[in-house]
Amino acid sequence: MSTSSEPIRPRSRKKIDGWRWGGRFFLFLMLLYTAVPMVWMLLTSIKSGFAAMQFPPQWWPSEPTLASYQKLLDPANSVGQDFLRFFLNSLIVSVLTTILAVVVAVPAAYAFSRFRFPGRKFLFFSVLLRNMFPAVIFLVPLFILMRWLGLVNTHGSLVLTYLTFGLPLAIWLLKGFYDNIPIQLEQAARIDGATRFQAFLLIVTPLSVPGIIATAIYSFIGAWNEYIYAATFLTKNEQLTLPVGIQRFFSENTTDFPGLMAASFMMSVPVVVLFLVLQKYFVRALTEGAVKH
């Protein structure tokens, strides 16, 4: 008699272990690749201006100082006032973009997933078509449009622009998630007397929370880190966001590297913390949206 499954041979087991350790080594290299710049940024931010310019570089500062952070967080000086204003501007733009992206993407993705209407596939792929082109191509047309609308030097111009770039992927991500929610759950709710909206709100929405959170993370990070459009649409100091504002640490004759690294590190912290806290929802949304049952 032959059995359906045979024991794994020692050579096969060694091959599997080799692949596993190779994968672990690759992940370790990727961890170093992503973590070392953050560590170097943090170490430079606690150095003095002289220590940051030494060559060969001083890995660990002999006299660490928090003067750069105190300067950035002190509203009594001009640098601190500007940094806190830039931080608040970035927060306002990112939060507004995230809220509007979720509000628009959720019903749009649900409609693409559940309804069948003429031109559905064409319209869906037309939405994704925008992501085939680099964002810089749309810089001049969008600037002309924002000037015509009177939105230059306003945060509204950035919010509308970021929605233009963030919505296609957000709709695609949520549609894949809704496709994996059994429609029979909604049908059962409709049989019990619920309307379509009630079924969506009470049945589908709680099940789609990971996808909504992933969409929110993607929209927030994209708006928080964007530089080109913020530098083009905003020229007034009181309207600048962080990616544009931190370039003020560069000057014609010298650069405040500790202050620049401190500002960059503080700019990175909210995004890193947000992703670490909500990463399980992000990974779950990507995996469930990519595999159709």
pLDDT tens column, 133-182: 787 888 888 889 889 988 888 898 999 999 888 888 888 888 888 888 88
Residue 273 lies in a domain: yes
pTM to 2 decimal places? 0.79
Task: For residue range 177-227, list pLDDT tens digits in order.
Answer: 888 888 888 888 888 888 888 888 888 888 888 888 888 888 898 899 888
Residue 199 lies in a domain: yes
Residue 1 lies in a domain: no
What is the extent of the structural domain holding 76?
66-290
* pLDDT band at residue 91 using 50, 70 and 90 as cut-offs: very high
| CATH code for the domain of 74 | 1.10.3720.10
Across the chain, mean pLDDT equals 81
Give how many domains the chain has, as a whole number: 1
Which of 69-78, 225-234, 280-289 is modeled with the greatest confidence?
225-234
Residue 180 lies in a domain: yes
Please list, in sequence order, all residues whose beta carbon lies within 8 angstroms of the beta carbon of residue 228, skipping any fewer than 6 positions away: 135, 136, 139
Residue 70 lies in a domain: yes
Residue 42 lies in a domain: no
Q: Which of 78-92, 110-124, 166-180, 251-265 has the lowest mean pLDDT?
A: 251-265
Helices (H), the chain: 10-45, 49-52, 67-73, 78-114, 120-129, 139-149, 155-179, 183-191, 196-199, 205-207, 209-225, 228-233, 242-245, 257-290
**Percent of the chain, pLDDT > 90?**
9
Residue 45 lies in a domain: no
